[in-house]
């Protein structure tokens, strides 16, 4: 479901994280309570993005790397990501938010459909059981199986900022096996 990584591939001297965020928003998802929002942005400058790395961290390059934020309080409810199968998040500012993973209570439980999407990927708390969770700290990296049901519980209004490395054609297991 997830693995905390030894974070030694991000330049510890890089501090200008806000400069990586462009005005190009690729997706916004509102929490059920509409008090929280998950947003993904294209990097502002590919050359600057490359300067954050001290070394290659995976034999399989991510499909895309995005500057990401979760703002507000509340939660990004239980869901499966649209598209990506695995994500490696480097947390710039993590707060005390919880990332929670779930399993279906009944294998036939179907998710709900997010407006404008073909895949049913949103799950009712009544249909799932919590199986694991973690609280990331700033400057930590986690590999996540985003093809599994998960959520983010925002416990404060402090923004959660992370660099999301996403793989659309490789599973969590494949990416995990190819970490360097």
pLDDT number for residue 114: 63
Distance CA 136, CA 143 (A): 11
pLDDT number for residue 130: 97
Q: Residue 58 falls within a domain, yes or no?
A: yes
**Residue 117's CATH number:** 2.60.120.10
Per-residue pLDDT of the chain (180 residues; tens, 9 = 90+): 999 998 789 998 899 999 999 999 998 888 777 788 899 999 998 888 888 999 999 999 999 999 999 998 888 889 888 889 999 999 999 989 999 999 999 887 777 776 666 666 888 889 999 999 999 999 999 999 999 999 999 888 899 999 999 999 999 999 999 998
Q: Residue 19 falls within a domain, yes or no?
A: no
Distance CA 24, CA 40 (A): 9
The backbone region for 83, taken as left when phi is positive above 0, alpha when psi lies in -120 to 50, beta otherwise, is left
Q: What is the phi/psi pair of residue 82, to 5°?
A: -80, 115
Reference 150, options 169, 168, 172; nearest CA is: 172
* Range of the structural domain that residue 123 is part of: 2-8+39-177
Answer whether 104's CB lies under 8 Å from 128's CB. yes
Q: Residue 31 falls within a domain, yes or no?
A: no
pLDDT number for residue 139: 92
pTM: 0.91
pLDDT number for residue 118: 65
- Sheet bearing 86-93, strands edge to edge: 2-5, 140-144, 86-93, 160-167, 64-72, 36-43, 21-30
Q: Residue 119 falls within a domain, yes or no?
A: yes
pLDDT number for residue 111: 75
Q: Residue 28 falls within a domain, yes or no?
A: no
Q: Residue 165 falls within a domain, yes or no?
A: yes
Distance CA 123, CA 19 (A): 35
Q: Residue 25 falls within a domain, yes or no?
A: no
pLDDT number for residue 115: 66
Q: Residue 14 falls within a domain, yes or no?
A: no
Query: What is the total count of domains within the chain?
Result: 1
């Amino acid at each position: 479901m997830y693995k905390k990584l030894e974070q030694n591939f991000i330049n510890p001297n890089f501090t200008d994280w806000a400069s990586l965020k462009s005005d190009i928003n690729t997706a916004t998802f509102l929490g059920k309570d509409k008090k929280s929002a998950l947003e993904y942005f294209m990097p502002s400058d590919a050359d600057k993005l490359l300067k954050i790395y001290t070394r290659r961290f995976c034999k399989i390059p991510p499909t895309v790397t995005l500057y990401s934020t979760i703002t507000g309080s509340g939660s990004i409810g239980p869901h499966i990501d649209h598209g990506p199968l695995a994500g490696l998040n480097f947390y710039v500012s993590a707060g005390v938010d919880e990332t929670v993973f779930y399993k279906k209570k009944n294998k036939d439980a179907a998710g709900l459909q997010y407006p404008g999407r073909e895949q049913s990927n949103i799950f009712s708390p009544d249909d799932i059981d919590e199986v694991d969770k973690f609280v990331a700290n700033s400057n930590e990296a986690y590999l996540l199986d985003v093809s599994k049901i998960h959520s983010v519980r925002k416990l404060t209004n402090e923004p959660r900022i992370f660099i999301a490395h996403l793989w659309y054609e490789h599973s969590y297991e494949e990416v995990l096996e190819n970490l360097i």
